[in-house]
A = this chain, B = another copy of it.
């Protein structure tokens, strides 16, 4: 072991090569030597307290962010007050990609709990992409993944019914917790029913009712924000096919 292990404190230099989130984050799949070249990438860290914004719609775009700890939601809002949660982000995921197109952010990123991010100055990313074979490609993959994910949400919003949407949401969360080494069957949601509803295009009451219904049916066990998945097979069936019969 080396002496100079990066310390988790504001302002201190962060090294991707020393980070245990590397498997989930931007440098995923890069070689060891490439990884060391990336140690220049992160400009610093930033802590964001629960309910605070990492950035807001309209803010000038300067950097993208990799979540080191905690979780976020992103949302857009219309002048009339209506808003829409466009995504929930967990450790290792990248925030801020929306800002590249107009050089200013088009949504708000709000911490769902006390969190910390790595600040990746966009100019530095572009520059390093020229030098480090593999970074460019990896970054493209991250952006492309975001597009594919958004298409999935569009599918969900455009052609699924309430319970199908919630089932899809729960399975997605489960899968992402699993990827982070947590239990696939038992987890703690950091967002409120209203936020889930906004994301799924439903009212909070509908979300609550769907939770209750799933519980009645023995699909899950709900205790506040703590969720246990009891029958993922049936949950999966629910997403793709509708409860049963109905054929078409």
Contact = CB atoms under 8 A, between A and B. Distances in A.
Interface string A137-177: 10111111111101111110111100000000000000000
Contact of A79 (B76, B102, B240): B240
A100 interface: yes
A158 B84 CA distance: 7
Interface centre among A141, A144, A200 (most CB of B within 10 A): A144
Contacts of A79: 240-241
Nearest to A105: B148
A81 interface: yes
A2 interface: no
B240 A98 contact: no
A107 B153 CA distance: 13
Interface centre among A81, A101, A147, A199 (most CB of B within 10 A): A147
A126 interface: yes
Interface of A: 76, 78-84, 86, 97-102, 106-107, 126, 129-130, 136-137, 139-148, 150-155, 157-160, 198-201, 240-242, 248
